[in-house]
Copies of this chain bind each other. A is one copy, B any other.
Amino acid sequence: MSTETKPAENTTSRTLVLTRLINAPREKLFKAWTTPELLKQWFAPAPWTITHAEVDVRAGGSSLVVMRGPEGQEFPCPGIYLEVVPNERLVFTDAYTKAWEPSEKPFFTGVITFEDEGGKTRYTARALHWTDADREAHEKMGFHEGWGKCADQLEALAKRI
């Protein structure tokens, strides 16, 4: 595993970025992102778990992931895909719960890219926020640790599938 800080496109002060060079093909990472049974195995940082995952992977399609914390509390995370390019790019947001119903609070838009790099995959997850305050809140919620741990889990899973 290597962690680097390659600048990502469109980075602003309201953006958080995690980038990794992962020793797995793009196709496996994309599959892990878009298959509910696989998503459940890596998308929450342990000891958090995913109790429910449904995804309609197409622009305008909904997703619903329910995370469970170590004390049993459940957090439903509804969202929608904005752009899907198989094995290359996924864009989603919590600004809508379905096409095109505004959510209670637009918090962030996720842009996930998968690029070939020296026989491995450059995996970059960007979280774009509408406000500086939300970016700060996301950082304090543990964005780097949480998404970093998930990336570790994703990499480990990619080796098994």
Interface positions of A (Cβ within 8 A of B): 10, 12, 14, 59-60, 82-83, 91, 93, 95-96, 99-106, 109, 111, 128-130
Q: Which residues on B sit within 8 Å (CB–CB) of A91?
A: 99-100
Closest approach, in angstroms, between the C-beta of A39 and any C-beta of chain B?
A: 21
Each complex incorporates copies of this chain amounting to 2
Q: Which residues on B sit within 8 Å (CB–CB) of A102?
A: 14, 106, 109, 128-130
Residue of B nearest to A126 (CB): B100
A27 to B111, CA, bound (A): 35
Q: Which residues on B sit within 8 Å (CB–CB) of A109?
A: 96, 100, 102
Q: Which residues on B sit within 8 Å (CB–CB) of A83?
A: 59-60, 99-100
Residue of B nearest to A104 (CB): B130
